[in-house]
Amino acid sequence: MIKVKINGQTQQLENNTTILKILNEKNIHKDSVVIVLNDKIIKKGDLENFFLNDGDALEILRFVGGG
């Protein structure tokens, strides 16, 4: 198991979890979000290739209404 911070909350994940797997589990379509891993933006095409590591900080972001 690994500990990963997702949107500020520490979560326990299985080893070899990809970012895409997390999105699929939460029913979040990859085209509707912005993914930042350890302060780096991850391109859509790379989401299934990125395996999360212990201590990673993952931000799943989206544009919302604002003034």
Partner 1 sequence: MDDILKIGDKEFSCRLFTGTGKFPTKELIPKIIKSSGSQMMTMALRRVDLNMPEENILEYIPKNVTLLPNTSGARNAKEAIKIAHIAREVGCGNFVKIEIINDMKYLLPDNEETIKATKILSKDGFVVLPYINADPITAKKLEDVGAAAVMPLGSPIGSNQGLKTASMIEIIIENATVPIIVDAGIGKPSHAALAMEMGADAVLVNSAIANAKDPKSMAKAFSLAVEAGREAYLSGLNETYHKAQASSPLTGFLYE
Per CB under 8 A, which region of 4-12, 13-21, 46-54 contacts partner 1?
A: 4-12
Closest contact distance (angstroms) between CB of 29 and partner 1 is: 9
Question: Which is nearest to 52 in space by CA: 29, 10, 34?
Answer: 10
Question: Which is nearest to 39 in space by CA: 64, 19, 18, 59?
Answer: 59
Check binding of 57 to partner 1 (CB under 8 A).
Answer: no
Give the DSSP H/E element, type plus range, for residue 19.
helix 19-25
Check binding of 45 to partner 1 (CB under 8 A).
Answer: no
Check binding of 13 to partner 1 (CB under 8 A).
Answer: no
